[in-house]
Amino acid sequence: MGILAHDVVLSSLERQLLRRATECRKKAYCPYSRYPVGAAVLASSGRIYEGCNVENVSFGLTCCAERVAIFNALSCGERRIKKIAIVGREVESCGACRQVLQEFGPRAELLLLSVRSNGRKAFSRKTVPEILPFPFKRFRPER
């Protein structure tokens, strides 16, 4: 299907996630960085939700594609993320996205596809504990 080299083994569902993240990347609003990123999450219900990065001139108000996709799923009633595909030039989630992934998909698998400007692609597969080994834990007040 053209997303990756033939030696990368992906399930049809994983290929669908990468395709949807690739398509959603085209919708990114990134006039300041010119760095479009797309994401697609697989929720525990089996539904897929998409997101792209949305920038703002006040950079602190910018939201990454991963969080947009996760928040999209959450706003539809989902509470658990099983997998997330992220497609961009050089894919590496920021700390905020890693922490959000930890809260809603602590054992989620990440499919990371970097699409370089020369057309070369690099794929990697990671887990949330690999990218965030020391997360903040949920606060549980003593009774």
CA 134 to each of CA 36, 106, 121, 130: distance values in angstroms, whole numbers, following the listed order:
28, 12, 30, 10
Query: SS3 for 9?
Result: coil
Residues serving a catalytic function are 66
Q: What is the DSSP letter of 7?
A: T
- Closest C-alpha to 132, from 103, 89, 90: 103
Q: What is the DSSP letter of 60?
A: G
Tell me the helices (H) and strands (E) count for the chain, helix number first.
4, 5
- Closest C-alpha to 138, from 99, 98, 80: 99
